[in-house]
């Protein structure tokens, strides 16, 4: 039987976050989530804010990422993210605080305000972090 796993690398400007053999991933593409199984055709996508799931055997792990790119090749996936945090690394308290601050700000800003998208993004980031942290075993 052929080797059904592929290599996943997640790097940020600060460090190499993850480099492991995995069997399946899903990632938050800017146009929507996509899944990758071994033998995927070459594919290049931008990433939004969200969680990357990777499966090794029966075990699923999660990584919170914001902005970046994913290069998908048949036997290798590389994710270049601006921020990437493993579920075990997330500071839940900080994410909660950020979420509250962002929610407060959003109440006062109109949808056409120039900072609206920025604040919205920071809210999304905080929410993602909390979701990912919640998945930790």
Partner 1 sequence: MPSLKDIRKRIASVKSTQQITKAMKMVAAAKLRRAQENITAARPYADKMREVIGSLSIRVNPHHHPLLVKREVKRREILMITSDRGLCGGYNQNIIREVTHLLRDTEEGVEVQLNIVGRKGLDYFKRRDYPIRKEYKNILGDTDYKAAAEVGKDIVAAYEADELDELIMVYNHFRSAISQVVTVQKLLPIEPIPVPEDAVVTEYIYEPSESAILNQLLPRYVQVQIYRAMLEALASEFGARMTAMESATNNASEMIDRLTLEMNRARQAAITKELMEIVGGAEALK
Residues contributing to the site for partner 1 (CB under 8 A): 9, 11-16, 29-31, 34, 41-46, 69, 71, 73, 78, 80, 82
**Residue 135: closest CA among 102, 99, 81, 89:** 89
The burial class, CB within 10 Å (0-12 / 13-18 / 19+), for 15 is exposed
The CB-of-91 to partner 1 minimum distance in angstroms stands at 17
Nearest CA to 44 out of 84, 78, 13 is that of 78
Nearest-approach distance from CB 76 to partner 1, in angstroms: 11
40 or 105, CB closer to partner 1?
40
The separation between CA 117 and the C-alpha centre of its own chain, rounded to angstroms, equals 19
Q: Cβ of residue 110: shortest distance to partner 1, in angstroms?
A: 25
């Amino acid at each position: 039987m052929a080797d059904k796993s592929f290599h996943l690398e997640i790097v940020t400007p600060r460090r190499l976050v993850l480099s492991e053999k995995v069997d399946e991933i899903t990632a938050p593409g800017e146009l929507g989530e996509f899944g990758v199984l071994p033998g995927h055709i070459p594919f290049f996508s931008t990433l939004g804010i969200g969680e990357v799931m990777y499966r090794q055997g029966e075990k699923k792990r999660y990584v919170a990422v914001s902005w970046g790119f994913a290069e998908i090749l048949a036997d290798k996936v590389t994710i270049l993210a601006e921020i990437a945090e493993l579920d075990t690394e997330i500071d839940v308290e900080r994410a909660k605080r950020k979420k509250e601050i962002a929610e407060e700000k959003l109440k006062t800003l109109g949808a056409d305000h120039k900072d609206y998208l920025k604040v919205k993004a920071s809210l999304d980031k905080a929410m993602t972090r909390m979701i990912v942290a919640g998945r930790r075993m």
